[in-house]
Amino acid sequence: MSDPLIVDIYAAALSAQQKPGTIRQWLRRGRLTHHGYDCQGRALVDLHELQPSVEDQAA
């Protein structure tokens, strides 16, 4: 398994072509693992975890 690629929810949203609010919902619902906050208070997620979530939403 590759090392996690930790990004804020705005970068994750751009990568997944989703709204930041969708990424926040996935965090709250446990579909993504929360990896803390950056220095500006933005939630951090592993970019590698987004692919399965995006595929689930498309199905």
Structure confidence by residue, pLDDT tens digits, 18-57: 999 999 999 999 999 999 999 999 999 999 998 766 656 6
- Whether 50 maps to a domain, the answer reads yes
Residue that is written with structure tokens 């709204």 in the block: 19
| Domain interval for residue 34 | 6-58
- d(CA 43, CA 58) in angstroms, rounded, equals 24
- Model-level pTM? 0.80
Does residue 17 form part of some domain?
yes
Q: What is the dihedral of CA 16, 20, 23, 24, to 10 degrees?
A: 170
Rounded-to-integer distance, Cα 14 and Cα 11, Å: 5
Q: What is the pLDDT of residue 33?
A: 94
49: in domain: yes
In a domain, 42, yes or no: yes
Question: How many independent structural domains does the chain possess?
Answer: 1
Whether 1 is in a domain gets the answer: no
